[in-house]
Amino acid sequence: MISELHLRNWKSFADAIINIDSIMFLIGTNASGKSNVLDAFGFLKAIAQGEQVRDAVASIRGGEDWIIRYGQSSFSLEVLIREGEYSFRYSIQIGRQNKGFSIISERLDRQFKKSPWKALFYTGEIEDSAVTIPTRFYTAKRGNARKIELLRGISILSQVEVLQVLKEVKESAKIVSETLKSVFILNPDANSMRSYVPLSQDLHNNGSNIAGVIAGMDSDLKEDIEKKLTRFVKPLPERDVDKVWAERVGRFGSDAMLYCDESWAPDRLLHLDARGMSDGTLRFIAIVASLLTVKPGSLLIIEEIDNGLHPSRANELVKVLEEINFSRSVDVLCTTHNPVLIDALGNKLIPFISYISRDSNGDSIVSLVEDVPDLARLMSSSSIGGLMINDRLK
């Protein structure tokens, strides 16, 4: 699992470290830099999947004009990943080249328990105009790393699988690559969830094909997921939800729609399809469905997690996050502006809240809420949510 993200000259960040826990919240004012953290994970996922660097850059919000911090010519991202008794440290530096972007340096290190770090591959110095980059790979022979010239337009991490290198180098690169590829960034769009959708296996980032994913499961798994969805969604609306399910539709049963039953009176059961559900209910279903269906060990990132959700349901949302996080080993990173949700986390989750703000130079900085000076004294007069509203967490 990813335990740390280090940003250097990435968008609004000069030099910042984000610690990743099992549940983590990023808070801060508009334009403080919260979304820029999410974009960094999106970029790492793209290059791990083998996308061209230029395409990965273009896919990020703001594109090539804003991906590098103002006044700089390159950025670097580094992640720390822990898998069993091993730790992996992967870093990549990207810079401008001939009106485009390419790799300046890339490196993968591995550590077993507390032993010294071992370099599995690392790049050498290059000319700005160079098309290839010299990369040295670990060979298990003292002072004898193998040199291979590789193209600069695609990550070395994504190329290791097809190279003639040691098995342990390939296996380590695969662990890091699969970890980054399993990052799932969810930004539910209720309107897109209201349509009939084809059966599918992988959930879309906007939640639009939830019905297709659930309806396409085998019967036992489908029944289990629907029962859990119903249990978690039940207390959300003004009246109880008796059942949430997806159903195949159409002559060939190749499409699906999301349905629910709501109890509005002891003798009245209201049948709804997704077109009649509220935005908040659909977004909540998308959040729960993603928690239940992403691969165990994944990092699930949810932007503005409480968007469309009534403040009175904040406690229900926190309960869902905690229960599914524990049962499925899915790490969850959320952004929010909602003070009610922050207060619903309770004191035990304060160590998992980071506050992002801008310094006098306009650079984004990250602070753990628990490290705020005189936090106990501040909390004697206001909650964490209240301190956030009054901008007193810097």
Contact predicate 111/128, CB 8 Å: no
> How confident is the model at residue 146, as a pLDDT?
85
**Residue 115: domain span:** 40-181
> How confident is the model at residue 264, as a pLDDT?
66
Question: Which of 96-105, 167-176, 194-203, 235-244 is the least confident region?
Answer: 235-244
Closest CA to 242 of 211, 215, 272, 284: 272
Contact predicate 76/9, CB 8 Å: yes
| Same domain flag for 202 and 172 | no
Taking the C-alpha atoms of residue 121 and residue 173, their distance in angstroms, rounded to an integer, is 9
Q: What is the pLDDT of residues 287-315, one digit of tens each?
A: 999 999 998 889 999 988 888 777 777 88
pLDDT over threshold 90, residue 340: no
Which distant-in-sequence residues (6+ apart) come within 8 Å of 374 by Cβ? none
Taking the C-alpha atoms of residue 188 and residue 201, their distance in angstroms, rounded to an integer, is 17
Contact predicate 2/22, CB 8 Å: no
Inside any domain, residue 384: no
Element of type H or E holding 271? strand 268-273
When divided into structural domains, the chain yields a total of: 2
> How confident is the model at residue 10, as a pLDDT?
97
Inside any domain, residue 391: no
Query: Phi/psi at 216 (nearest 5 deg)?
Result: -85, -5
CATH number at residue 243: 3.40.50
Closest CA to 78 of 9, 147, 21: 9
pLDDT band at 85 (very low <50, low <70, confident <90, very high): very high
Inside any domain, residue 244: yes
pLDDT over threshold 60, residue 131: yes
Inside any domain, residue 82: yes
Mean pLDDT of 139-154: 85
| Same domain flag for 157 and 227 | no
With a pLDDT cut of 90, the percent of the chain lying above it is 58
Taking the C-alpha atoms of residue 281 and residue 190, their distance in angstroms, rounded to an integer, is 9
| Same domain flag for 257 and 150 | no
Inside any domain, residue 119: yes
| Same domain flag for 63 and 175 | yes
With a pLDDT cut of 70, the percent of the chain lying above it is 97
Inside any domain, residue 139: yes
pLDDT over threshold 80, residue 172: yes
> How confident is the model at residue 339, as a pLDDT?
87
Inside any domain, residue 95: yes
Query: Phi/psi at 303 (nearest 5 deg)?
Result: -85, 130
Which distant-in-sequence residues (6+ apart) come within 8 Å of 22 by Cβ? 325, 326, 331, 332, 352
pLDDT over threshold 70, residue 37: yes
> How confident is the model at residue 297, as a pLDDT?
86
| Same domain flag for 124 and 171 | yes
Answer with the one of 157, 181, 205 that is the final residue of a domain: 181
Closest CA to 258 of 192, 187, 186: 192
Inside any domain, residue 348: no
Answer with the one of 333, 351, 376 that is the final residue of a domain: 333
Closest CA to 164 of 178, 175, 150, 154: 150
Which distant-in-sequence residues (6+ apart) come within 8 Å of 268 by Cβ? none
| Same domain flag for 280 and 318 | yes
> The pTM is what?
0.91
3-state SS, residue 328: helix
Question: CA neighbours within 13 Å on the CB side: how many for 205?
Answer: 10
- Chain-wide mean pLDDT for the chain? 90
Amino acid making up residue 5: L
Written as one string, the DSSP assignment of 128-170 is TT-SEEEEEE--SSTT-PEEEEEESSB-STTTGGGSS--HHHH
Taking the C-alpha atoms of residue 321 and residue 98, their distance in angstroms, rounded to an integer, is 46
The DSSP 8-state label assigned to residue 96 in this structure reads E
